[in-house]
Amino acid sequence: MSKKVLSKNKINLLILVYKNILLIIASIFTVFPFIWMIVSALKTKSEIMDTSKFLPSVAQWGNFIEVLTNSPILRYMGNSLFVSIITVILQLVTGAMIAYAIVNMRFKGRNILFLVIMGTYMLPTVATYVPSYIILSKLNLLNTYTGLIISNAVSIFGIFLLRQAFMQLPKGLIEAARVDGASHWQIIWKIVFPITKPAFITFGLISFISSYNNYMWPSLITDSPELSLVSQGLRRFFVEGGAYGTEWPLVMAASTVIVVPLIILFMFTQKWFISGIGDTGIKG
């Protein structure tokens, strides 16, 4: 009997070792591009082109100073933060209201409505560019933050994610609140939101990252340099024959600076993010 237990323990130990090895390898592949970006930001242009050396001979911290003081990268970051924060707030509000209506309100065509909403999620994003552009053009909202924000005010993914979280709430809790005279709005923000807060934070983080890094759609409807988001600004100022042309150390330094807000945001929300992924049943 003891031999069987020992053999099982050895098998479990081997499985654990293999899992850890695979996780370490996957982590190295995931982290390496960020390490390469930071290391490249500390090199000279000639050192970046020299593939025989990975580390710089002398760290060029001046690249970061040059980017922060002599480029509009901070303005681009401010533009992206402003648009992303407003977009996330709108998507959270609209997503919560639609998800709540689908889960907790009884009306004819509720299931059909959900199928239509999810059906639009299957459309390629590029298929919506032309009609969205025409609508914004007729409303005179091209080349404005208003048009950029309104066109992203609703997230199909957010509706689905919050619906999954709302479906796990006890029906009796919602019914008890209704009996006590609570309105739908009060139920959402005083009962549903506190219980499903990890799902809200998870969606908010995903939505913020998506909006912050968005490039294609903002490039189509905004052409003013003053309105550029970080992805547009990085290409316009540093790559497309701008102030630095092909000065790749400065491009890497700017890219590193751009990533900092996302890393800080994830550091403060990772606990709720992981919990939200598990609670809504979305697993890899």
Tens digit of pLDDT at every position of the chain (284 positions): 556 655 777 778 888 889 999 999 999 998 899 999 999 999 988 888 887 888 888 889 999 998 888 888 899 999 999 999 999 999 999 999 999 999 888 888 888 888 898 888 888 888 889 999 999 999 999 999 999 999 999 999 999 999 999 998 888 888 888 888 888 888 998 899 988 888 898 899 999 999 999 999 999 999 888 888 998 888 877 665 544 456 788 888 988 999 988 888 888 877 766 665 555 544 44
Own/partner pairs, 77-80, CB within 8 angstroms, 24+ separation: 77/230, 77/257, 77/258, 77/261, 79/227, 79/228, 79/229, 79/230, 79/233, 80/211, 80/212, 80/229, 80/230
- 50 is a domain residue: no
Given this model, what pLDDT does residue 276 score? Answer: 54
pLDDT at 284: 41
Q: Is residue 69 part of a domain?
A: no
Query: What pLDDT is attached to residue 2?
Result: 58
Question: 3-state class of 65 per DSSP?
Answer: helix
Is residue 244 in some structural domain?
yes
Please measure the distance between the N-terminal and C-terminal CA atoms of the chain and give it in whole angstroms: 37
- Give yes or no for a contact between 155 and 84, defined as CB atoms under 8 angstroms apart: no
Structure tokens at 232: 């547009």
- Domain check: are 223 and 88 in the same one? yes
Instruction: Tell whether 159 and 239 lie within a shared domain.
Output: yes
Cβ 119 vs Cβ 58: under 8 Å? no
If we measure between CA atoms, which residue out of 151, 125, 123 comes closest to residue 136? 151
What's the pLDDT score for residue 149?
Answer: 95
126 and 25 in a common domain = no
Instruction: Confirm whether 195 is domain-assigned.
Output: yes
Quote the domain boundaries for residue 16.
2-41
Q: Half-sphere exposure (CA, 13 Å, Cβ side) for 227? A: 16
Examine residue 18 and state whether it is found in any structural domain, yes or no: yes
Question: Which pTM was predicted?
Answer: 0.84
> Does residue 35 sit in the same domain as residue 105?
no
Whether 62 is in a domain gets the answer no
Which residue in this structure is represented by tokens 């979280």? 165
Residues 18 and 135 in one domain: no
* DSSP letters for 14-36: HHHHHHHHHHHHHHHHHHHHHHH
Phi, psi of 243 (to 5 degrees): -65, -30
Q: What is the rounded CA–CA span in Å between residue 111 and residue 222?
A: 37
Instruction: Identify whether residues 97 and 214 lie together within a single domain.
Output: yes
Residue 141 pLDDT: 93
Asked if residue 157 and residue 109 are part of one domain, the reply reads: yes
Q: Considering its fold, how many domains does the chain have in total?
A: 2
Residue where the block lists tokens 């005083």: 190
CATH label of the domain that carries residue 175:
1.10.3720.10
Cα(134)–Cα(241) distance, integer angstroms:
31
Say whether both 18 and 147 belong to one domain.
no
Q: Which residues contact 53 (CB under 8 A, 6 or more apart)?
A: 47
Say if residue 22 is in the same domain as residue 79.
no
Same domain? 105 vs 194: yes
Does 284 map to a domain?
no
Indicate if 93 and 203 belong to the same structural domain: yes
Residue 47 lies inside a defined structural domain of this protein: no
233 in the same domain as 105: yes
